[in-house]
Amino acid sequence: MAGKDKEIKDRDWDREMREVDKLLAKLPDADPSLGRAGAPTVPRAFSPHPVATPPPGSPAAAGARLTTWIRVGLGLALGIGMLVWPYSHVCGLKLMFYMIGAGTVTIAGVWTGISSWKRRMGLAHLLSLGLVIWGLVLAVGIVLPRVGYASHAAAWFCPEPK
């Protein structure tokens, strides 16, 4: 066991990594910057997450950030609008529309969360996570009383008048 530890310590790792870089540079889709000091040693073809975002100062990056904030704003407006839902949503078709609204809040949160994560926008991402949680809270408030979990039972469909 001690012999293997000494063998590992005696290796010239820099020389071996240069050989690996040379072999990687021979691959057909290799990055031409391989082998230079400070350059990445993994070809982009093998990168698990290729980066396709524009440079931070470019107009395309500013437009992408603006569209993300617009999405977050629309999602927040919908989430706040659910608080003042103008119709009764106790049962029936109006309840189904309310469920669609709650689902839309959740989907808007996921959509803005993905967009803000790609653009590394922390505050927008936190707000989108809040939207996801709020949409789920709205949906749980509807579903739990109707599946018998809450203290009072509620119906999905309105009873017919007698």
Interval 95-137: pLDDT, tens: 899 999 999 999 999 999 999 999 899 999 999 999 999 999 9
Q: What's the whole-model pTM score?
A: 0.61
pLDDT given at position 146: 84
Domain match, 10 and 69 both:
no
Q: With both helix axes pointing from N to C terminus, report the angle between 59-81 and 92-118 in degrees, rounded to the nearest 10.
A: 150
Residues 141 and 63 in one domain: yes
State the residue range of the domain holding 42. 2-46
Tokens 């790792």 -> residue: 13
Q: Are residues 83 and 134 in the same domain?
A: yes
SS3 90: coil
Question: 140 and 63 in one domain?
Answer: yes
Secondary structure class of 58 (helix, strand, coil): coil
Query: Is 101 within a domain?
Result: yes
Indicate whether 67 and 141 sit together in one domain. yes
Residues 42-91 have pLDDT tens digits of: 555 555 555 555 566 666 677 888 999 999 999 999 999 999 988 788 88
Are 39 and 105 within one domain? no
Is 142 a residue whose pLDDT tops 60? yes
52 inside domain: no
Identity of residue 86: P
